[in-house]
Amino acid sequence: MVEKSRVVVKQEKFWVRCRITGKMCEVCVGDSSHERSCAYFDPQVLLRYTGQPDKYLVEDSYIKSKEEGWILQSLCYSSCGEVYCYLYDLSLLPEKEQAHWRPDNLEDPEGTESSLARERDFFCSFDNSTKQELVCVLKNLGEMRFQVGDTNLVIWSPREDFDQMVNEVVLPLTEENKQYRDGFLLPLARLVIEGFEEKKLKKIAVSLGVSIEKPGSLNALELFLARLCGDKKIAVEVLKPLRDLQNEKSARASHGGKEREKTMVTKANSTLAAATESIAAILQIIKNR
């Protein structure tokens, strides 16, 4: 395998947790003996990238510059929500990017490495396909048009910049409840559920002869789908994952520490998969109308 060429000019120093001893030490970014040691950072280091979706693609496990082409791989979150990555991947960044990361480098991080991240990085057992599937079905849903009179209406559209909203949905790699709720659950609900246009759904439903009394976009969507497929039970079943997501979003955040290992991570993946399947089923009902 051909090793990637390094673009380092200045040898920045970073605090890393030694892979062998487990102790923190400060080393030069090009130190080959610590390539697989992890450097930890305050999560605010990511704000520069998440706040500029036109310039950077931020996924759950990497950051890519759309303009310059560099990639920071092995992006992970510690058990306490800190950001970390391998020193080797830092060494591949341009000098100015290393300088951006240096001030947020943590000398004494509280968290530990994610076991899921290790599986991903060393055994290639992790992929992000479900999130990409969600992006695909949402884009397709947003392209659906319904003619009411002389107007073409859409039933779903992102409330803000689509790419940025997608980037904000981050699958957790730890069992920290705050990371699950703030970094995954709430952004997912904003992206998926809040995109449904209640007023437009009602207009379309009324044009089909459906009377909608209960407020709420999901209630309107349920009656709309029931009218299209001719079976209310199917509509209720299709929307159940989205209602579960909405209910969990509305519930108060849990502060308990009784979650079993991998519960949050497993829950996030199942929630994402269920939401994706729900949107796909909605698309199918609409296409079969």
Q: Tell me, what's the pLDDT at 50? A: 85
Beta bridge partners of 16: 25, 39
Q: Flag the least confident range among 32-46, 72-86, 92-106, 147-161.
A: 72-86
How does pLDDT run across 131-165, given as a tens digit for each residue? Answer: 888 888 999 999 888 888 878 889 999 999 998 89
pLDDT more than 70, % of the chain: 85
**DSSP structure class, residue 172:** -
How does pLDDT run across 115-126, given as a tens digit for each residue? Answer: 555 555 554 444
Q: Tell me, what's the pLDDT at 225? A: 94
Q: Tell me, what's the pLDDT at 192? A: 97
How does pLDDT run across 46-67, given as a tens digit for each residue? Answer: 989 988 888 998 877 789 999 9
Q: Tell me, what's the pLDDT at 127? A: 47
Report the C-alpha gap between 58 and 73 in whole angstroms: 10
Q: Tell me, what's the pLDDT at 196? A: 95
Give whole-number Cα distances, 149 to 18, 51, 203, 209, 226, in Å: 67, 40, 10, 14, 22
Q: Tell me, what's the pLDDT at 7? A: 44
- The two tokens of residue 181 are 């709720």
Supply the mean pLDDT for the chain.
83
Q: Where are the domains of the chain?
A: 13-123, 129-287
Helices (H) and strands (E) in the chain, counts: 12, 10
pLDDT band per the 50, 70, 90 thresholds, residue 10: low
pTM score, whole prediction: 0.59
Characterize the bridge pairing of strands 38-41 and 24-28: unpaired
Q: Tell me, what's the pLDDT at 121? A: 57
- The mean pLDDT value for 241-253 works out to 87
Q: Tell me, what's the pLDDT at 252? A: 62
